[in-house]
Amino acid sequence: MTDRSALPEAWTVWADGDDGRLVLAYRPDVFDGAAFPAPCLPTLYLTHGRRTRRPGRNPTDTTAAEDWFVTLYLEPEVTLEDGRRFDTREEALEYAVDLARRFDAGEIDYRGLYQVPREAYFDRLDELTGRADDER
């Protein structure tokens, strides 16, 4: 990562691959599998090529292999993908750091990404990200 100082403290660099792929994890101290299931660990992926599979699988497909993408996973099947493509890793990295900052500040509506609400999980995320009850 070019500028780790811009990343909010709540986000941890989980993997920084030789291929440019970057994986960031949100509060792994909380989402450790005891208090919350490990698959609920909010995770940001910066990949060369669009991610079309669950975390931990092949990170690219050939249809967009030249572009860079940023995907926020709340769970393996719950994602925030806005379809943005970036020409360079640096542009994608800048967006990933901004998305991490906005998530940490409670500016991302993660509740809207779920078809089946998880109230206890949402309440904990609200607490961690500082979202006020009246902002929901």
- Dump pLDDT digits (tens) for 1-53: 456 678 999 999 999 988 999 999 999 988 877 778 888 899 999 998 865 54
Tokens (6 digits) for 18: 């030789």
pLDDT for position 26: 95
In this predicted structure, the answer to whether residue 59 has a pLDDT above a threshold of 80 is: no
Mean pLDDT of 116-125: 83
Q: How confident is the model at residue 132 (pLDDT cuts 50, 70, 90)?
A: low
In this predicted structure, the answer to whether residue 98 has a pLDDT above a threshold of 90 is: yes
Q: Mean pLDDT score of the chain, rounded to an integer? A: 83
Q: Are 45 and 71 in contact (CB under 8 A)?
A: yes
Of 41, 27, 47, 28, the closest CA to residue 93 belongs to 47
pLDDT for position 42: 94
pLDDT for position 135: 55
Domain limits, the chain: 4-131
Give the span between the Cα atoms of 115 and 62, in whole angstroms: 29
Amino acid letter for position 93 = L
C-alpha pair distances (Å), 16 with each of 21, 87, 118, 130: 6, 19, 31, 28
Q: Are 91 and 70 in contact (CB under 8 A)?
A: no
Q: Are 38 and 25 in contact (CB under 8 A)?
A: no
